[in-house]
Amino acid sequence: MSFNEGKEAGIALEDKRAESDKIFSSGILKAGLLFEDTPIDPVSYLEKFTYAELESRGIKFDDNREKMAVSINKLFMKNHRSSAYSPFVTMTHLSADLKTDNGSERIVVFIKRGKVPVWSFDEIIEPTLNEPLSLLVKEFSAKINQHLYQHKITDADVTTLVNSIKSASDQNANYEKVYALGFGNNKTAIPALVEFSKSEDEYVRLAAISSLGVLKAVDQFDYLKGIVIDGKLWQDRAMALKAIGDFGTAQSKAFLEAAKSKPDTVENAKEREWSGALIGLYLD
């Protein structure tokens, strides 16, 4: 895929997390994550791989220019498992504020992943730990690009991705291509994403719903609101909440405020807690 080339100012991530929020990985599984054989420093990890991701897309940086500050307010991964027969689930959260000449821009990432280990708990490492970190970097990078650099994939790239998704024999790999549509910063992908948001494949569906927010498809507000209200699965409702939050409009903020004060009665206590944490990424 091709992006327009340029020489840009970089970013500098500032760790503004409260001391009580600096434990990155917590939950049922009491295990820290390692990067290069040492406990992961999530903020430096995010900065390092965000640069790598942006550079891989053709964005070039001028080290002599003043960097744009990004305050990391929250960055953590919670894990959960209700029984030995249920999936091991991780939810990765990020709330950051990008300082621009026009003010502060809130950037949020939320990723849910689950896996039922069959033979060994090692089976969860890639799908529920490594993969969310990769998606965290890619979505954060896409949103930084959207605010600062405005690089995008071409209409032809969008068409190629859409056709590839529709014709793929391996449906399990499609969700990555759906995410690529969202991360490509080209709004011509929106109609296809609406279609993919109705997929029976959960990861394709969630990637598409999330991507409608990444691309700020504000004309889909009512559609996403319908998912929040009527969606059968919590993860669908959560991703629709996230997409609405990404719009950053007065309407979307009012909707999140209402959702925060009147939790969805469809959700159980644990799901209400998760929804509250997600909404807090935008409002706190």
**Per-residue pLDDT at 115 exceeds 90:** no
Per-residue pLDDT for 282 more than 70? yes
In which band, very low, low, confident or very high, does the pLDDT at 164 lie, cut at 50, 70 and 90?
very high
pLDDT of the residue at 39? 83
Confidence check: pLDDT of 104 > 70: yes
pLDDT of amino acid 47: 98
* Residues 137, 108: Cα–Cα separation, whole Å: 12
| Structure tokens that stand for 204 in this block | 């394709």
Is the predicted pLDDT of residue 3 greater than 90, yes or no? no
What is the structure's pLDDT at 109?
99
pTM of model > 0.85: yes
Q: How confident is the model at residue 86 (pLDDT cuts 50, 70, 90)?
A: confident
Q: What is the mean pLDDT of residues 103-122?
A: 89
202-228 mean pLDDT: 97
Q: Are residues 148 and 8 in contact, defined by beta-carbon separation less than 8 angstroms?
A: yes
pLDDT of residue 2: 43
What pLDDT does residue 37 have?
A: 76
Domains and CATH numbers, the chain: 1-151 (3.30.160)
Tens of pLDDT, residues 28-76: 877 677 777 788 899 999 999 999 999 999 999 998 899 999 999 999 9
DSSP E strands: which ranges in the chain?
6-8, 11-15, 25-27, 34-35, 38-39, 59-61, 68-80, 88-100, 103-115
pLDDT at site 215: 99
Average pLDDT of 162-181? 88
- Across the chain, mean pLDDT equals 91
Percentage of the chain with pLDDT > 90? 73
If you average pLDDT over residues 128-135, what whole number do you get? 94
Q: Is the pLDDT of residue 145 over 80?
A: yes
How far is C-alpha 86 from the geometric centre of its chain's CA atoms?
24
Structure tokens at 183: 């991360």
DSSP secondary structure, 22-39, as one string: ---EEESS----EETTEE
Burial of 121 (0-12, 13-18, 19+ CB in 10 A): exposed
